[in-house]
């Protein structure tokens, strides 16, 4: 799996750019705020069919332009492929052409995976599962639509009698979401544990899915209904649905201690690194396609040992990786293709002359 050429038009601060990537390692160099992350975002949107930075894609259209347009050519397991993505401002519209393929994005915000809000961890699972499981993607959309309707019925006295009408469908979709999240975490854990033990010897990593509104895993529809019925009075009093995957959380522990309470910044970075590397292996196993890796200014956040471990993981001959950084010094031994990004313009890197 590799992208060969990326074409970008009117996307973020990029007016027009054509970028040729190395099949192995490409380094995008430039000062902060010049458009490096925007290029990674363009790659992600094309390969995943959705944006990781915003739910309103029209926000990515360059100011003053009516349409943003992205295209990439590449190959999947030796077969040529083309991706196209178009975002229109008015009326708001998006079109996407091309297969959804696995991508693993590393960003400085990953440190909040184990420390931030439960919503961030739910989003991590949704972004991992939805692009490659159509049933999950449909269930997530349907679940949140039903949840809004059920919550509205709980809030309005005139609709109290229809609350139960939404519950069977909510249970059906919610149960599938729970099952897939539980299965995925069970598969990710041994991968993440092995990686974490290499990056941080002596630290034992554990993860578990905390089911929303329940102390125990939900095994079937019967136990789901039982839990909802047990909290019916509380739901009416609080006017909101209290049981379901919209209240899930993922618990991370290091040496049996909850990371939201006890982990240092260094431990949080290492945990995030272990988890993301595990998702790379999981996606590869799940789809049969080696994911492209996008590294957005993360090396500066790591100490030398973890930096070397990450670079070793992403610098194999068959792995395509695109990295952003403010300078190329850390990558010299890996012989990357280096491109310079300045004010949305992408050019070949010309290193500054060395002083005599």
**193 and 117 in one domain?**
yes
Tokens at 235, concatenated: 């739901």
- Structure-token pair, residue 157: 């006295």
Looking at the chain, which runs of residues are DSSP E strands? 2-11, 14-20, 25-29, 67-76, 79-88, 93-97, 103-106, 205-210, 249-254, 257-258, 292-296, 321-325, 337-342, 345-348
Decide which of 237, 264, 288 is a domain's last residue. 288
The arithmetic mean of pLDDT across residues 190-218, rounded, is: 91
Structural domain count, the chain: 2
Is a pLDDT exceeding 70 seen at residue 356? no
Mark which of 288, 312, 333 sits at the end of a domain.
288
Is 32 annotated to bind a ligand? Reply is yes
Q: For position 158, what pLDDT does the model report? A: 67
Strand pairing report for 67-76 and 103-106: unpaired
**Which letter does DSSP use for residue 236 in this model?**
H
C-alpha pair distances (Å), 149 with each of 29, 145, 171, 207, 354: 48, 7, 14, 32, 65
Residues 247-254 have a mean pLDDT of: 96
pLDDT at 159 over 80: no
**Residue 190: CA count within 13 A, CB half-sphere:** 3
Residue 241 assigned to a binding site: no
Pairing of strands 249-254, 257-258: antiparallel
Q: Do 40 and 176 share a domain, yes or no?
A: no
**Same domain, yes or no, for 39 and 162?**
no
Per residue in 64-111, pLDDT (tens digit) is: 999 999 999 999 999 999 999 999 999 999 999 999 999 999 998 898
Whether 218 and 265 map to the same domain: the answer is yes
For residues 256-295, one letter each, b for 16 or more C-beta atoms within 10 angstroms of the residue's C-beta and e for the rest, the string is eeebbeebeeebbbbbbbbbbbbbbbbbeebeeebbbbbb
> Is 233 annotated among the ligand-binding residues?
no
Is there a binding annotation on residue 266?
no
With a cut of 90, say whether residue 290 has pLDDT above it: yes
My answer on whether 323 and 227 are in the same domain is no
**30 annotated among ligand-binding-site residues:** yes
Work out the pLDDT band at 353, boundaries 50, 70, 90.
low
Q: Do 296 and 277 reside in the same domain of the chain?
A: no
According to the annotation, is 36 in a ligand binding site?
Answer: yes
Using CA of residue 76, residue 295, residue 103, residue 92, what is the dihedral sign? negative
Place of tokens 């960003």: 107
Is pTM beyond 0.85? Reply is yes
Range of the domain at 97: 1-101+289-356
Domain stop point among 231, 264, 288: 288
Q: Say yes or no: 23 and 159 in one domain.
A: no
Give me the phi and psi of 293, to 5 degrees please. Answer: -105, 130
């Amino acid at each position: 799996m590799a992208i060969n050429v990326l074409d970008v038009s009117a996307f973020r601060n990029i007016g027009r750019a054509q970028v040729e990537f190395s099949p192995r390692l490409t380094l995008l160099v430039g000062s902060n705020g010049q458009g490096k992350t925007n290029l990674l975002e363009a790659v992600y949107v094309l390969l995943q069919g959705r944006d990781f930075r915003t739910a309103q894609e029209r926000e990515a259209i360059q100011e003053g332009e009516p349409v943003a347009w992205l295209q990439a050519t590449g190959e999947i397991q030796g077969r040529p492929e083309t991706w196209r993505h178009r975002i229109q401002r008015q009326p708001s519209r998006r079109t996407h052409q091309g297969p959804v393929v696995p991508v693993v994005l590393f960003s400085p915000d990953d440190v909040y995976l184990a420390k931030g809000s439960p919503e961030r961890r739910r989003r991590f699972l949704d972004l991992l599962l939805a692009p490659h499981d159509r049933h999950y993607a449909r269930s997530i959309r349907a679940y949140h639509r039903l949840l809004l309707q059920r919550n509205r019925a709980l809030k309005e006295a005139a609709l109290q009698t229809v609350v139960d009408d939404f519950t069977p469908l909510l249970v059906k979709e919610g149960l599938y979401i729970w099952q897939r999240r539980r299965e995925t975490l069970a598969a990710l854990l041994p991968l993440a544990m092995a990686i974490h033990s290499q990056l941080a010897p002596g630290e034992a990593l554990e993860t578990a899915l905390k089911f929303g509104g329940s102390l125990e895993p939900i095994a079937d529809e019967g136990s789901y209904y039982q839990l909802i019925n047990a909290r019916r009075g509380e739901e009416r009093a609080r006017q909101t649905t209290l049981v379901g995957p919209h209240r899930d959380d993922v618990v991370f522990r290091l040496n049996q201690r909850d990371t939201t309470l006890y982990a240092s910044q260094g431990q949080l970075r290492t945990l995030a690194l272990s988890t993301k590397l595990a998702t790379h292996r999981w996606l590869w196993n799940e789809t049969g396609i080696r994911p492209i890796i996008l590294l957005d200014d993360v090396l500066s956040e790591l100490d030398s040992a973890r930096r070397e471990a990450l670079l070793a993981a992403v610098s194999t001959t068959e792995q395509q990786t695109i990295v952003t950084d403010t300078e190329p010094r850390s990558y010299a031994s890996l012989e990357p293709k280096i491109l310079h990004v300045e004010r949305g313009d992408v050019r070949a890197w010309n290193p500054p002359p060395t002083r005599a």
